[in-house]
Each structure stands twice: as C-alpha cells, then as structure tokens.
Structure 1
Amino acid sequence: MTGKKVSAAIVTYNRLDLLKESLGAVLGQTKYLNHVIVINNKSNDGTKEYLSSLTDERLVVFNSEDNLGGAGGFNQAVRLFAEKTDDDYVWLMDDDTIVQPDALEHLVDFAEEHDHVGFVNSQVRWGSLEGNPSWMNVPAPRGFTWQMYMTQKNPAVEVVNSTFVSVMFSRKMVAMIGLPQKEYFIWGDDMEYTNRIADVDRGYTVLNSIAVHKSKENSMPGDIVKEKDESRLWRYDFEFRNRVLTAKRISKHEYMRTIINAFIFDLRFVLFNKNVKFRFTKAKMIIRGIFKGMLFNPEVEYADGLSRVPKRSINALFKARHLAMPTDIFTLDDDIKVIHESKLTDFKGHTVAADRFIEQQMGDFRQ
C-alpha cells in the first residue's frame, strides 16, 4: 500500500550469538526494510569480524572506537539514519530483540493509515512468543484516550513513552526533536526521547506487531530495591540521574514528583525493607543520582544536513490556552480538539501573558 522505506538500527555490545539472531530476524522482514544500521560498541567477542564477513547490501556497520553505552549507540544510529540514508522511518532495537517477520509491516501500515502518529512500537514478550509481557518494555498508556484509535483491522493502544525495543518514528520527527541524548549513557534515554516525541504527536503500541526480548531476567525497569547482582549496581547512578532530567523536561510537577518519590519510596524501601542486598551502597546511589540529576541538562543535538522543522508542543499548546483563557474549564474532548487542530498562534490576542509566552516559544525555535 505504500512505498515507504525504513532503516532498522541495532546497538550491540558483546552479545554475538544474540546479535546474529536479532539481525537475522530483522533482515527477514516481509516489507519496507531498506537499511540495517548496526552500532558495534567496541565489542571484543568477535562481533567486528562477524559483521565484516556479511555481504548484505542493506547493512550499514559502525564500529565505535569507544563503548558509547546504549544511549550513545542509539544517538549514533539515528544520526546515521538522518545523515546517510533517505529512508522515511527509523526502527530501533537492542541486540537481544527478536522481531517477528511482519513486525515492521504492521508498524508502518499503522503509522501510514493514521494521523498524528509520533511513534509506534511493538508488543514485547519476554523470552519467547508464549512468554509473559516483557515488564521493562511495557509503556504507560495515555490516560482516558488510549482506546480512541483501536480497530479490529489493526488495533493499537495509545501510549506516552516507549523503550528502544522495537520502536519506530519518522525522519520528520527527528528533524523536529533532534537526536537521542547520548549523555544518558545507559538507561532512560528511550523514555526521555519518546516523551519528547509524545509532546509533538501521539505514540501507539501496535498490538499485532510482535517482538521477543531475550533479556536475562523479566524484571521491572530500574528496580534498585530488588537488585541482587552486584555487577549491575553501577547502572543505578545513571538511572536516578537520568530519571530526574526526563521528568524535568516533562513538567515542573513531574520533576518534583520524581524527586519526592525517589526519597519516600526508593530510598525508604532500600533502607528499611527486609532482605535488601547492598543496602547502604544503594542508598548512596539514590541520593547521589538525584542531586546529579538536578544539575544535569545537556543540550539536544540535531543531525547535520537535516532541515529543522518547527516543533509543535502539546504541552505548550495547553499552557498557551490556559494563559489565554485562565478562568475557562475544559473537557477531555476540548483537549483532544486542541491536540488535533490547534496551533500556538490561535491563542494570541487574548491576554498579555499568553502573547508573551507564545512569542517566547516561537523565539526559541528561531534561535
């Protein structure tokens, strides 16, 4: 139904057997696949040699001289998609993601058949097709409105974020919001990036696009209380720092809520729950990560040669409407209409505060 082209992108580090399986599944897609970008994060297990032996013309291999972390790897992958291909969409995944042959076809078809789609992701199962949901890859549904675009033909659930385990978005979206934040290094870069997209347009989990995540454990994301593997503890320094910045970029309310919850839930449970391993090390990590996050605010990068597209912000639209009509009460249907039909300038001329805010927003892009 469409001639759209897609670059898949896999970030890998020292998991050659899983990479072979993941890459084989991606190359076997039924439709739309045009390139496969593989970011090799300085693996030392034969990954570089294996990739150099492949002859598929669709492959674009980047062997990094340093371990960029997952975040740096995905930053590089999206940059290569934007700067080295003319494909319409980029489809991201880890090296332990095994996609079904028609997974990409369903993602592209849904994105092309519906308006206001910012990103689409797959339904992710853990270990096998018959496994439970992969809990770390279950996105948050958008409150109240997620049922609006479900159909028998191609059902989807509206979500507000996604992990980088089978998620796809467009070239235009990259031009609007920039690249994933490489400074996150590991954990949380996917939440921050898809939250950025969800502020422009809607995200959807396409239920008949299926991926299997072959992670070692089916754990909840960032669960420091239950963590028992000492070799993984270092990751939580990044987890809490990155969590704070992600919240800060959503709203002041979310920023404060995230900091408060880290202290009254994570820190309290680590200190006082029974059978918590590495109790005081974890407590120090939570406190250190939160304070690092308060000061952490790296700039967003943009791909070279990709024409900047003015960014439409749903949060900015709502704030402009509130400033323009501060005493009005709006229904959920009113909110949906704003998302679908409004632009910032629709709220000019009502109040000085609204006009000042709109000019500031438009000025930020012109800079």
Structure 2
Amino acid sequence: MEQLYALITTEEPAKQDLYIKQAGNVLDFCTYFNSFSLKKWRQYTTLQTVTIKLSLDGLFEVTLLTVDREGEHILQREQARGAYEHTLKLSDIDGDLLGFRLEPLSVGARYLSGAYHGTASEWHDKKIGVGICTFKREKYVRRTMAVLSDFQKEHRWLSVLVVDNGSTLPVQEIPSLRVVHNRNYGGSGGFTRAMIEYVEEGRVDYILLMDDDIILEPSAIERTHSLLSCLKSEYRDSFLSGAMLSLEQPTIQYENTAYWGKIRLHGLGKGFHMDDLHDCVRNELLGSYPNQYGAWWYCCIPLHRIREIGYPLPVFLKGDDMEYGIRNHRPIMSMNGIAVWHQAFSTKISDVVNYYSDRNMLIINNYAAGCSWATFFLAVCGRFVKRLLQGRLMSLQILCKALADYNSGLQGITACRADDKMKEVQACAAASVSFSVVVQAAYAVICSILTYPKMHQQYAHFRKSELSDASFWKQYLHMEGAIDERIHKRTI
C-alpha cells in the first residue's frame, strides 16, 4: 500500500475553506485539497483501492460520502477513536469525489492527522525534476526554493533546477537543488534550458515546469508523484496540468486548463469557487477540446516525450506553452488539489507584453489543428479593428511591429539575440506615434494576409528542421559544452 497524499490544513483564514471546513463542531474534509478525486484516479491510473487513514484523539463519528452532479451520497457512518482506517474498492463505488466528515462525540476530541493510501495493479516510483525560470525576482524564487527544499527532505524523488535568466542568484551545484545562469531569452529560453539539462542528464522521468512567482501548496507535488507512479499506459504521453488559483482571491480559480479556439484563447473553469463543493465537482468534469494545453505555471511533462516531439518555440514569452501542449496532441490531465496561486495577469499587461501576445498568437495559427488562412485572416483583422476602435495609436504601432516580425519568420526573429529583440520592442513602445500609424498598420495587415501561404510553410519547416533536437537551442543560448562539463564534474 502506498501513501497517495497527506491531508493538509492551513493557517491562512482566507484559504481555510479549501482545506477543512467547519460547521459548528463538524470538520468537513470534502474540500478542494482534502477530497479524493475518485473519477480522475479511476480514469488516469491503475489504482484499485483507496484507504483513508486518520489519527484521532478522542471519540468521533466518521461519515464517508461520495459527491457527484446529483449531490451527496452517504456510504457509511461509524464511530472511531485513535487510529482509524477504512478501505474501499474503486470498482465498488460511484461518484466524482470521495470525502468524509468528522463529528466529535467526546469532550476535547481532536483530529490529529490523516492521509489517503492506495493499492495499484502497477506502481513505479517516478522521479520528478522541477524546472523554474526566473529573472531578477529573487524574493519570489527564493521563497519557492525554500518550500521545495523543505519538501525534498521527505521526498527524495524530487530534484530542482532554477534557470536564472538574470544571473543574480549564486550558481549552485548541489545535485538536489541547482541554480544555473542563462541568457535572458525569456520564459521559452529558461524553460527550454531546464528541459535540455534534464534530458541530457537522464536522471528523472518527468519535468515539472513552474513559474518563479507562484505560491505553492506542496501537497500538489505529492499527489502529482502518486498519480504518475500508477498511471495507465494510455496516459503515458500526456502532460499533467496544474490549475491556477487567484492570489488576490485565493478560493477563486483563474483557470484549470485552456484551449486555442482557432482565433482566441478559451480558459476552462474560469471563476469557479473552489470553496464550493458543487464547483469542485464541476471542475472534475470539464471536457476535452482540440488544441488543449496546460500552462507552464505548473505543467508536468514526460521526459521521453521531449525526446519524441522536440523542444519549444523560441518566442521569448507568451504562447510557448500553448504551442507545445498542442504539439503533444495527447489528452491533458488535471485534478482538484493540483494547483498553484498566481497573481492575475491583468496586472502584467503592457504594450511590450501585447507585442509578444500579438506576434505569437499568429505564429500558433500555423501549428494548431483546424487553423488556416481563414482563421489567420480573422485573427489579424480582428486585432486591427479592435485597436482601431480603442483609439490607442500606440497599440497599432505595437501591432505593426508584431506583424513585421511575424512576417520575418522564426529564422528572422531568432537572427538577433532575444534580449536585443526585447530592447527593440521596448524602444518601439516608447517612441512617439502619429495618425499615420493607422495606414501603416492597415498595410501590415494586408501584407501578412497575402504572404500567409509562404510564411505558413516557413513556420512548419522551422519547427521540423530546428526543434526536433537540442542543437538549435544550444547554439541560440550559447550553451555548447556547458552541460557535458557539469555532468563530467559530478562523476569525478
């Protein structure tokens, strides 16, 4: 029998209802973090039984229940004290979630601890390597590093690599927690560097890509490991996506997974109240869509799959995770309790960010299923009309720059250093602008539409010829020999 994950609590009142709810003296563990995703464990894994183990001080009534769209279904009520254990066969119970409630029956009775355990027909302990990309955000990344370092004390299967694009953290070569310096080639450069490091070392089974400024609940990693260790063969190639909860409103889900709808992005599970049991069930029942992906604030990728499908697009930021998830062309896995808190993206919007968003969303049109000249036409014209109606001339100037660079292809985009390209965009966003930009933008739109067939072939060719292995990225990041040298040092 393996421990799947421990029951957890929090000292933050704003998050409490995600962990243990309290109504009177009853403790409710049928919550976002402490329920058991019955439907998903049955769907994704070879798990056959689940066992609830509790440590109790005093006498309690334990109520076991399942939950689905129709409501709650009581499985059993029994009294317990001290060490409580109850095992259920997954094949014998229906429902989307499994949970329990505790009602104290003796004075001073206390819940002490607990966990879900399970037996699977196949269990292979997987090794996970975390890859974090950071740029001059020492306060945030050090916090995440501290959480992961503490987690590693009891979970030796986890290793951590921080790719520092700003080179402001000291280089660290401890095998379990490393820091390497990297050129500032954005999130795509940092995350790809982590992929290359782990692939060439070959010491892990999965790479968990993670933003530097998240708030992490370590239990998410524990259940990630358990799920991957008993995964069914049909999900061997799938990515596991963690949801994003709002840092400003910590019980609200910003997004579970998302998909590219040919013209714009569609987030799934937006605005769900994860302190509400009904929304916890809804969150487990979100459907699958073409061009679905998991964002890289928390996304676990099989190492072998990187070898098979190649490396991400060199697009600096915005869209690299989208295209890579779409490229994998496998079902995306997700589960309640596998999530991070992240600041709302509305606080990070700028003209520079809009440049990358405009340019890279058009690039993705060349790779996503169902996209064509028609969807490209609608996407380009829609952006132009929207900015024209907004009356912001600078946004049209940024669109001109995005279209010009799009029309140079990835060969043109990567012909100069990515940090120099960022300076170009910043200069464009700071330059003066006149009404003539309306004509310039209209001309850029027409040119991009007319040259679509040629550019479509170029984008397809670049991915096939340059990204199937790490050669392009090693040269682009000027990292030839760096990994081999470190691997040699660790073996002597």
Smaller-chain TM-score range?
A: 0.5 to 0.7
**Post-superposition CA distance 1:49-73 (Å, at most 9, x none):** 3x54xx8540122112x31211111
Q: Is the 8 A contact 1:262 1:286 kept in 2?
A: no
Within 5 Å, give how 1:134-283 maps onto structure 2: 134=254, 138-140=257-259, 155=284, 157=286, 158=288, 160-181=292-313, 183-197=314-328, 199=329, 201-213=330-342, 215=343, 217-219=344-346, 227=349, 232-251=350-369, 253-254=371-372, 256-264=374-382, 266-273=383-390, 279-283=392-396
Residue 405 of structure 2: aligned partner: 292
Q: Is the 8 A contact 1:236 1:285 kept in 2?
A: yes
User: Unpaired runs of 5+ in structure 1?
Assistant: 222-226, 305-367
Against the structure 1 CA distance between its residues 13 and 259, is the aligned structure 2 distance closer, same or farther, given a 3 Å change threshold?
farther
Q: Is the 8 A contact 2:215 2:340 kept in 1?
A: yes
Q: Distance in 2 between matches of 1:196 and 1:269?
A: 29
Normalized against structure 1, the TM-score is what?
Answer: 0.65
| Secondary structure class of the residue paired with 1:118 | coil
Q: Distance in 1 between matches of 2:246 and 2:188?
A: 22
Q: CA deviation at 1:105?
A: 2.5
The answer to whether 1:14 aligns with 2:127 is no
Q: Distance in 2 between matches of 1:5 and 1:156?
A: 29
Q: Distance in 2 between matches of 1:105 and 1:156?
A: 22
Against the structure 1 CA distance between its residues 236 and 3, is the aligned structure 2 distance closer, same or farther, given a 3 Å change threshold?
same
| Secondary structure class of the residue paired with 2:336 | strand
Q: Distance in 1 between matches of 2:298 and 2:157?
A: 14
Q: Distance in 1 between matches of 2:240 and 2:285?
A: 9
**Post-superposition CA distance 1:84-133 (Å, at most 9, x none):** 24200000011112221121232233344332351011121121682432
Q: Distance in 2 between matches of 1:97 and 1:28?
A: 16
Q: CA deviation at 1:303?
A: 3.8
User: Unpaired runs of 5+ in structure 2?
Assistant: 1-122, 262-267, 269-279, 410-458, 472-492
Residue 490 of structure 2: aligned partner: none
Q: Distance in 2 between matches of 1:211 and 1:18?
A: 14
Q: Is the 8 A contact 1:87 1:171 kept in 2?
A: yes
Residue 169 of structure 2: aligned partner: 48
Richer in strand (by share): 2
Greater RCO, 1 or 2 (C-alpha within 8 Å, sep 6+)? 1
**Post-superposition CA distance 1:248-274 (Å, at most 9, x none):** 11246356414412322x32222113x
Q: CA deviation at 1:139?
A: 1.7
The answer to whether 1:99 aligns with 2:231 is no
Q: Distance in 2 between matches of 1:258 and 1:15?
A: 36
288, 291, 302: which is aligned to 2:469? 302
Q: Is the 8 A contact 2:131 2:208 kept in 1?
A: yes
Q: Is the 8 A contact 1:120 1:203 kept in 2?
A: yes
| Secondary structure class of the residue paired with 1:248 | coil
The Cα RMSD (Å) is 3.1
Against the structure 1 CA distance between its residues 73 and 233, is the aligned structure 2 distance closer, same or farther, given a 3 Å change threshold?
same
Against the structure 1 CA distance between its residues 141 and 104, is the aligned structure 2 distance closer, same or farther, given a 3 Å change threshold?
farther
Q: CA deviation at 1:247?
A: 1.6
Q: CA deviation at 1:207?
A: 2.0
Residue 206 of structure 2: aligned partner: 89
Q: Distance in 1 between matches of 2:260 and 2:223?
A: 19
| Secondary structure class of the residue paired with 1:204 | coil
Normalized against structure 2, the TM-score is what?
Answer: 0.49
Residue 80 of structure 2: aligned partner: none
Q: Distance in 1 between matches of 2:368 and 2:361?
A: 11
- Where do 4+ consecutive residues of structure 1 move more than 6 Å? none
The letter of the residue matching 2:356 is F
Q: Distance in 1 between matches of 2:158 and 2:226?
A: 16
**Post-superposition CA distance 1:330-362 (Å, at most 9, x none):** xxxxxxxxxxxxxxxxxxxxxxxxxxxxxxxxx
Q: CA deviation at 1:184?
A: 0.2
Q: CA deviation at 1:9?
A: 0.5
Residue 62 of structure 1: aligned partner: 180
Against the structure 1 CA distance between its residues 205 and 90, is the aligned structure 2 distance closer, same or farther, given a 3 Å change threshold?
same
The letter of the residue matching 2:334 is T
Percent identity reads: 20
Q: Distance in 2 between matches of 1:25 and 1:259?
A: 46
Q: Is the 8 A contact 1:10 1:37 kept in 2?
A: yes
Against the structure 1 CA distance between its residues 180 and 133, is the aligned structure 2 distance closer, same or farther, given a 3 Å change threshold?
same
Q: Is the 8 A contact 2:141 2:212 kept in 1?
A: yes
Residue 245 of structure 2: aligned partner: 125
Q: Is the 8 A contact 1:180 1:189 kept in 2?
A: yes
Count of aligned pairs between the two proteins: 269
Residue 322 of structure 1: aligned partner: none
